[in-house]
Amino acid sequence: MKNFAILLFLSLTFTACKNEITTTKEAALEKQEEPNSYIEKEYPDAINSIMKAHGGMEQWDKMNNLCFEMPSKNGAEIHTVSLKDRRTKIEAKDWSIGYDGANVWLLQNKPDAYEGNARFYHNLIFYFYAMPFVLADEGITYEMQEPTQLDGVTYEAVKISYGEGVGDSPEDEYILYFNPESHQMQWLGYTVTYRDNKKSDRWSFIKYGEWQSVNGLLLPKSLTWYTVEDGKPVAVRNTREFEKVVVTETQLDDSVFQQPEGATISPR
């Protein structure tokens, strides 16, 4: 009976990306009465040019949900994100992870099906995928860097850091490398400080080599991680592909992200 309940839960929630779950009538009417939520903010010229090259912040800010499939070694993962409040859900064959706005939960269909840290992972891929738009979040500081050569090509660069208490890892740092002519993002350098929240000088690199146009936005088709030597990317380590990408103004129902029966809260 328990297995049947789990299968029923997954069959219902897997439709979030495919059918774009709508709001209740009351929420839909409220949304119609609201003015456009976009509020123009002041960003450095470089950030403005990058955002414009990827569809613009106004178009991004219209969107309320993002869904995509990412093939993995154990089958596809379906990622669903409520963009305004960053509630998330990741569904795989043997496990599901969700963030309901208060807690990160983990549902395993068999013992020890998920081997990682659910809290660390629940928004990790989304954050990399939603570049450069997530770098317009509140509490961010921008600092232009000297032009930098990566893999034989010279890029403009801007460094991103966070204010104290912003997010789970405020000590994380990012460097966005972009084409000086097209202004499209090409590389991301980043540090990881999740466990100890101490600044790190160990940089990782992702190449944004392929893009796809989805509802007026330029979003990644693939992300390629590189091995690093002397603080620079040197060789391909692995590539993640993104399929069935959907980004729309539809507001997903709260039930999509609610903790299901049998799930456990994931600690930090």
- Reply yes or no on whether the pLDDT at 133 is more than 70: yes
Number of Cβ atoms within 10 Å of the Cβ of 127: 17
The pLDDT value recorded for residue 43 is 81
Q: Is the pLDDT of residue 47 over 60?
A: yes
Count H helices and E strands in the chain, helices first: 7, 14
Q: Is the pLDDT of residue 136 over 90?
A: no
Would you tell me how many other CB atoms lie within 10 Å of the CB of residue 126? 18
CB-neighbour burial class of residue 20 (10 A; exposed 0-12, middle 13-18, buried 19+): middle
Cβ pair 49, 182 in contact under 8 A:
no
| 3-class DSSP state of 63 | coil
Percent of the chain with pLDDT over 70: 79
| Best-predicted range by mean pLDDT (7-16, 197-206, 251-260) | 251-260
pLDDT of residue 139: 80
* Mean of per-residue pLDDT scores for the chain: 85
User: Is the CB of residue 169 less than 8 Å from the CB of residue 194?
Assistant: yes
- The larger pLDDT score, comparing residue 173 to residue 24, is at 173
Q: What is the pTM of this model?
A: 0.84
**Token duo for residue 205:** 């690199």
Residue 166 in this model has a pLDDT that exceeds 60: no
Who contacts 37 (Cβ-Cβ below 8 Å, separation ≥6)?
Answer: 61, 62, 84
Q: In which band, very low, low, confident or very high, does the pLDDT at 198 lie, cut at 50, 70 and 90?
A: low
Residue 183 confidence (pLDDT): 97
Tally the C-alpha atoms within 13 A of residue 36's C-alpha that lie toward its C-beta. Answer: 9
C-alpha atoms less than 13 angstroms from C-alpha of 40 in its C-beta half-sphere:
2
pLDDT single digits (tens) 201-225: 789 999 998 999 999 999 999 999 9
- Structure-model confidence comparison of residues 166 and 94, the more confident one: 94
- C-alpha–C-alpha distance, residues 121 and 104, integer Å: 10
Tokens 């549902």 belong to residue: 107
How does residue 30 score in pLDDT terms, banded at 50, 70 and 90? very low
pLDDT above 50 (res 100): yes
Amino acid type, 111: P
CA dist 258 and 255 (Å) reads: 5
pLDDT band (50, 70, 90) for residue 194: low
- The CA–CA distances, whole Å, from 117 to 16, 26, 81, 224, 268 equal 24, 37, 19, 22, 8
Q: Compute the chain's Rg from CA coordinates.
A: 19
User: What's the distance, CA 182 to chain centroid?
Assistant: 23
The confidence score (pLDDT) of residue 74 equals 80
Measured between alpha carbons, how far is 141 from 90 in angstroms, rounded to an integer?
30
Rounded to an integer, the average pLDDT of 54-81 is: 95
What confidence score (pLDDT) does residue 192 get? Answer: 80
Helix (H) or strand (E) holding 53: helix 45-53
Residue 260: predicted pLDDT: 96
